[in-house]
Structure 1
């Protein structure tokens, strides 16, 4: 039985093999290394889990405001005018357009929708609110032509996706028709619930979460940086939220979903029972991750209107 005194470990062979393969590229103590080394390891890890591009899908790199790189994905079969805005994870420290390229391509293909991803500025060179401002600038650019938009993000990107949606509501910026949060970090207290139960979970520890928060230097009471601190959840767009059971961030996702539901927002929430943080990359080698990714793509498709 898992307890706070033992390291919680899933039992699915595929996800265990995935974790072992990850640690060959990105060691468990990676956060103790210099930032440049962390990025080198992470880039190698992402390359290891690259996947073939869906047939007929095209990519186009652009700049927003001559400053923010974005990548546009257009699947061979587009069935909706609604677009997807994808914000990558990486603890605000690592990640790029390339790190999540295959994931973005497969989501765009599955949802039959154009997808735009963003290469926001990273910490520690650029602390809060640099990443947030970059993402909101791209969000505003995408909404300017009045096409509906679904905002999607994983991990740190899930934090930014939730923050974008909250700021859009505060700024009376219309057009977001859905939000998809994938094992997001939303500002939980670090000292209760899954932060204690899964403090030593494989793939991400509570100490890692604390490190990333310290590097980002977001104000503790800023609700856009810590969405669980928001007072009013009403009027937000419908959500698909997915968490990993073996993840200290699990309760952030669950609590956010509960508060959205209590405010009358339509929410689909799934806790993937055998998954660890970053399970998206295991979608081609783990049954649980494969199933979770299929359900995620269905959730995105439902929000963009292609189901």
Structure 2
């Protein structure tokens, strides 16, 4: 049954969707990579909200990977941007990272990992791991890994590769509407195959592009849900947008961590769509989710579990 999006999605979110579609048309994934990046960059510029008072940033490298550092104190957030591993960069989530810095007071480092198709998997994963290791060696622990969409994939894959049992001082992770390698022929991938902002066809396009063709056998560095061991991973908040083909991935990942004895909570953001972080100033539901994200970052850095249980 096709979801009743006019009922599920409120007026403020529909206004955000229309504004986004005007800047980034739904058929953008059918265009050339250069055209996609140009359109995405223009959209990001249109939504950029500037920096809160007192926030600054410096571009530099960590582990040989270009990054943007928003100086703070006490703890460090490592942020991986979304964009299907094809678009985005330091500019695309600049104001989001600046607001995380302003709200938490922590250092924030945005990682400018290599993009596809020029740099197929595992280039982005390798960059994420290298940057995280270098950040951990220089900036204050605890570290919190965070990312949206493709960036949520990288945060989870990095935690699974180098962050078990608080290695590198990684004390938590926040995965925001992440794509983690769930079954694309079941569940939300079918129910929300034609969702506003991201369709199942878009997901398939980005997966093909990441590998320049055929995907490899199950590989946790590409699809974190394909791992056989979810033990020792940091406390996790996995956030699903309700109207998103990727929604089930967040819940499946949190369930896998809990089954392995870890602390993990998954949340469905009612009526929200993929990419809603850009709506945090105009859509009350998105603003509430952003507040949930920054509160979890603060709690994880303090060693607290901000939920009643691990479910």
Fold conserved (TM > 0.5)? yes
- Count of aligned positions: 299
Name the structure 1 match of 2:129.
136
Name the structure 2 match of 1:184.
178
Name the structure 2 match of 1:34.
32
* Aligned pairs for 1:88-127 within 5 A: 88-127=81-120
Name the structure 1 match of 2:231.
234
Decide whether aligned partners of structure 1 residues 232 and 28 sit closer, same or farther in structure 2, where only a CA change above 3 A counts: same
Displacement of 1:51: 0.7
Displacement of 1:296: 1.1
**Kept after mapping to 2: 8 A contact 1:113/1:304:** no
Displacement of 1:173: 4.1
Asked if 1:209 corresponds to 2:203, the answer is yes
Secondary structure of the residue that 2:190 maps to in structure 1? helix
Displacement of 1:167: 0.5
Mean alpha-carbon deviation: is it higher for 255-264 or for 92-101? 255-264
Structure 2: unaligned runs, 5 residues or longer: 305-311
Q: Take 1:174 and 1:31, find their aligned partners in 2: how far apart are those partners? A: 37
**Kept after mapping to 2: 8 A contact 1:111/1:304:** no
Q: Take 1:248 and 1:165, find their aligned partners in 2: how far apart are those partners? A: 24
Displacement of 1:137: 0.6
Q: Which of the residues 295, 300, 305 maps onto 1:298?
A: 295
Q: Take 2:76 and 2:13, find their aligned partners in 1: how far apart are those partners? A: 31
Q: Take 1:258 and 1:49, find their aligned partners in 2: how far apart are those partners? A: 34
Displacement of 1:31: 0.7
Asked if 1:59 corresponds to 2:72, the answer is no
Mean alpha-carbon deviation: is it higher for 262-271 or for 28-37? 262-271
**Kept after mapping to 1: 8 A contact 2:156/2:173:** yes
**Kept after mapping to 1: 8 A contact 2:80/2:154:** yes
Name the structure 2 match of 1:256.
253
Mean alpha-carbon deviation: is it higher for 86-95 or for 163-172? 163-172
Q: Which of the residues 276, 280, 284 maps onto 1:283?
A: 280
Structure 1: unaligned runs, 5 residues or longer: none
TM-score (normalised: structure 1): 0.93
Name the structure 1 match of 2:21.
23
Displacement of 1:34: 0.4
Q: Take 2:105 and 2:43, find their aligned partners in 1: how far apart are those partners? A: 28
**Kept after mapping to 2: 8 A contact 1:199/1:207:** yes
* Aligned pairs for 1:266-281 within 5 A: 266-281=263-278
**Kept after mapping to 2: 8 A contact 1:220/1:226:** no
Name the structure 1 match of 2:142.
148
TM-score (normalised: structure 2): 0.92
* Aligned pairs for 1:68-79 within 5 A: 68-75=65-72, 78=73
Q: Take 1:183 and 1:272, find their aligned partners in 2: how far apart are those partners? A: 9
Secondary structure of the residue that 2:239 maps to in structure 1? strand
